[in-house]
A and B are shown apart, each in its own frame.
Chain A
C-alpha cells in the first residue's frame, strides 16, 4: 500500500538492466531534487540508498566542505560534489577517463585512484606523483582504464579521507563478465568521528590507549583467579605485564569515537539495498575506513566471493570475511525468498558495527545480530610460537609444523643475501626471517621472534568461528586467481620488510625507520621480486602498494591472485610477488591512516 516512487523506480520496471538500475538510483535522487516536496517516507529511503552514481568517461569532481550530521551534532566533512561518501564512479574497461578535480578547500588536496594501474603522474600522491592540487586549482587526471572490477578513490592529502573524501569506482569489463548477477550494490564501509582527526592523532601520541575501554580490571583478575587459579592467571599475564602491553589492544581508535557507516548511512538508520526474490545480487564491498577493519556477514545467506581487490577469483562460498582497510571484496548472494537480510559489519575489536538491509520490500526489516565476543591477543599475535593462553592453539600448531620445513642451515650465514635459494613462485618465502637492516631503538617495542604465515589465519577473533559458530570464514589461502598467472617467472630476489612500531609512544615505521628518514626501495624495471612482510607489532596492518599488483602467494603458482592491499596479521608474515612493470615513484604504506605517515616507503622503479 505504501509503495513509494523510489520503489517503483527501483523494482517494477521490467526493462531495467543492471546498468540502468544503478543509474536509476541517481535518477531517483534527481527526482527528489525537482522541488517536489518529498514526504518523509520518500525522503528517508533516498538518504538511505547511498551516494549517487556518475557514469561515463569525463567527470567534473569538486572537492569542498559540507556539513554533515551522523551523531546528532553538525560537523564539517570533506565532500566530492557535495556527497559523503563521494559519488560512485562507473567506468568502462578499455576507455580513457578524464577527471577534472577542482579543489575548493582551503588546503591542498588530491585524489588517489586506489587499485588502478596507471602512470605514476596520475596516481595522485602529493610529493611522489605530483605536487598536489592547490586551493582553487583544478587538476586534470587522464588515463586509460585497462582493468575491471571494484575499486575506490580517496584523498591522499592530510586527513581529508577521514572526513568523508572517499568513494567507490566500478569498472565494467570489456568482455563478458565471468560473474553472472542480476543486480548489484556497492557497500562502502567507513568510520566517522566528530573529533578532528588531528586531535585523535595527538591523543594517541599522548595516551596510546585513549580509545581502549576494554582494559583489564580488578574484577577480570578476580574472575580469572577463580576460574584458573593464581598460577595460571599469573602465567597468562606475565608476558603482557613484562612487555608492558595490553592483550585487549585490538584497534587504536574504537567505537568510543567512531560511528561506523555503510554507504554513508549510520547503523541506526541502516542502508537499504533492494532485490527481488530469486535474483543473484552482487555486493561490492569496499572498506573505505580510516582505521577500522571489519568482519562482514549476512545472517541467513551464504556469500560467494567472486573478486578480491577488483580482480576476479575462483568463486569460494563462505559465511563471513574480514575486510582490511582499503581492501575490496565482491560477493554474490542469492536470496531465494521474500524476506529481508541484515548486512552486518562489526569492527575487528567489537566496539561497534554498521549494518544495512537487503530487502525485497522497503517496509521489511531483518533482525540485527549481536556482535561477537571481543578478541584478545595471544602469544601467536606477538610472534611467539607457543600459545599457552592463545585461543588458537589448533591453527598455531599447524603453522609451527610448517615453519619447521624452513631451511635451518641458513641460521648463521647469508641472511637475506641472494646466495640463499628462493622459495618457488606461488608458495611464498622459505627463508629464515632476519634482522638485517633493522634499526632498533626506543621507537620499537617488540620483534616477532617466530612469525607464522598469516595465509591460513582468518585473524584474531575469527579463529574459532568455524568450530564454535559453524561459520566458514574466508582466509587468504582460499583466494585463487580466476585466470592464469600473467607473469609466470620466478622471483629473482626477495625483499624482507619488517612492520615495526612502539604502541606506547605511538610511533610506526618499516624496519625501524620512518618514512621521513628512509631511502626509497629500488626496483629495476621489469624485474620480478618477492616482498615478505613481517609484522613486528601486535596490530593488524593492511599494506598497500601503489602502481603494481601485490600478487599474493596463496599456494597455486598458476593462479596467483592480484591484490592492491594485503593484511599482515599481528606477529605474522606474508609474501607476495611484484612485477616492476611501472616506471616512476610509488607509495607503499600501511593504510591505517594514523600509521601511514611513519609506516611508509617510496618504491622507485627505474
Chain B
C-alpha cells in the first residue's frame, strides 16, 4: 500500500510542481486521485474465432492536470493482434475540455509504430462524449481518430450507449494494410446494466467497415470489409 502510494507520488512529481499546498484550514480541495476505466472488456462473436477486446483508460492527477493512459488490446485465439498504448499529459483548457499531449505506441500489429499525439477529450453540448486525436508517426505518417459516444438512459441503471469511431490516415501504410483517407469506421451499440455505478455488464452489437485503399487491401487478402459482431462484456471503473 505504502509502496503504491510512493510510486504514485513519484509518478506525479511533475504534475505537482507549483501546486504543493499544505493541509490548510479548509482542507485539501484538490487531492491527488486515480481513476481506471475499463470502458469495454468484451468477447465479440465473429466468424471463426471470437476476439477478446479491451478498451480502457486511466489517469492520475489533480483537477486540472493529469497523466492519462489509454489502451486498446485485441486478442484472437491467444495471440495479441492489436495492442496500442497512449501516455498523455492532460490539461484542462475549458470547463468541459482537456488538451492531451503525449506518445502512442502500437505494439501490434507488426511492424510496430510510434506516434506523437495531440488530442482533445471532453463533453460536447448535448452531452456527447468526444475523444479526438491527431497522431504524427515517425515516418511522417499522420492519422486522425474521432470518437464520440452518447448515453441514453432507459432507467437510471439501464443505459444504451451508441458510439462511433472513425480513423483517417495521411498516407498508405502497406505493411499494415492501411490506406490513406477514411480508413475504417466502427459503430457500436451497447446496453449496460449498472449493478453499481462502477460495475456494469452489457450486451451489444459492433459494426466495422473499412473504406478506400484499406478496404481494397483487405479484399485482396480475402478479408471482409465489413463485419457485424455481437458482443458481451463488462464495463467497470474505480
A binding-site residues for B, Cβ under 8 Å: 125-128, 156, 158-159, 201-203, 205-207, 210, 213-219, 241-244, 442-445, 502, 504-505, 507-508, 514-516, 587, 589, 596-598, 600, 602
Contacts and interface: CB of A to CB of B under 8 A. Distances in A.
A159 B27 CA distance: 9
Contacts of A202: 31, 33
A156 B23 CA distance: 12
A201 B92 CA distance: 20
A158 B27 contact: yes
Given A218-B153, A242-B126, A589-B26, 8 more contacts: A126-B25, A127-B25, A215-B156, A217-B155, A219-B155, A445-B96, A502-B95, A597-B28
B29 interface: yes
Nearest to B197: A210
A201 B97 CA distance: 21
Interface string B21-47: 101111111110101000000000000
Interface of B: 21, 23-31, 33, 35, 63-64, 92-97, 123-127, 152-156, 197, 237
Given A597-B29, A600-B25, A217 B153 contact: yes
A507 B21 CA distance: 16
B93 A442 contact: yes
A597 B28 CA distance: 6
A504 B156 contact: no
8 contacts: A206-B35, A218-B152, A442-B64, A442-B94, A442-B95, A515-B29, A516-B24, A600-B25
A515 B26 contact: yes
A219 B92 contact: no
Contacts of B123: 244, 504
4 nearest interchain CB pairs?
A: A597-B29, A598-B29, A600-B26, A442-B92
B109 to A, nearest CB: 33
Given A205-B63, A241-B127, A217 B27 contact: no
A505 B95 contact: yes
Nearest to B97: A442
A507 B35 contact: no
A505 B97 CA distance: 10
A217 to B, nearest CB: 4
Contacts of A126: 25
B96 A127 contact: no
A41 B183 CA distance: 76
B100 to A, nearest CB: 14
A218 to B, nearest CB: 5
B39 to A, nearest CB: 13
B125 A241 contact: yes
A246 to B, nearest CB: 9
A213 B156 CA distance: 6
A333 to B, nearest CB: 38
Contacts of A502: 95
Nearest to B124: A244
A134 to B, nearest CB: 13
A216 B23 CA distance: 39
A214 B153 CA distance: 11
Contacts of A598: 26, 29-30
B96 A207 contact: no
B24 A219 contact: no
A445 B125 contact: no
Most chain A CB inside 10 Å of its own CB: which residue of B25, B33, B95, B127: B25
Nearest to B123: A244
A165 to B, nearest CB: 14
A480 to B, nearest CB: 33
A202 B60 CA distance: 12
Contacts of A244: 96, 123-127
B92 A505 contact: yes
A602 to B, nearest CB: 7
A589 B25 CA distance: 10
A241 B126 contact: yes
A596 B154 contact: no
B92 to A, nearest CB: 4
A219 B237 CA distance: 27
Given A205-B63, A504-B95, A515-B24, A217 B154 contact: yes
A216 B153 contact: yes
A587 B25 CA distance: 8
Contacts of A125: 25
B63 A443 contact: yes
A244 B128 CA distance: 9
Nearest to B126: A241
B95 to A, nearest CB: 4
A514 B95 CA distance: 15
Contact of A596 (B27, B35, B127): B27
Contact of A507 (B29, B33, B127): B29
A597 B26 contact: yes
Contacts of B156: 213-215, 217
A442 B65 CA distance: 11
Given A215-B156, A442-B94, A516-B21, A507 B63 contact: yes
A17 B35 CA distance: 58
Contacts of A445: 95-96
Contacts of A217: 153-156
A436 B224 CA distance: 61
Given A215-B156, A242-B125, A444 B25 contact: no
Contacts of A218: 152-154
Most chain B CB inside 10 Å of its own CB: which residue of A128, A202, A206, A507: A206
A218 B160 CA distance: 10
Nearest to B36: A206
A48 B24 CA distance: 37
A224 B146 CA distance: 33
Most chain B CB inside 10 Å of its own CB: which residue of A203, A216, A242, A442: A442
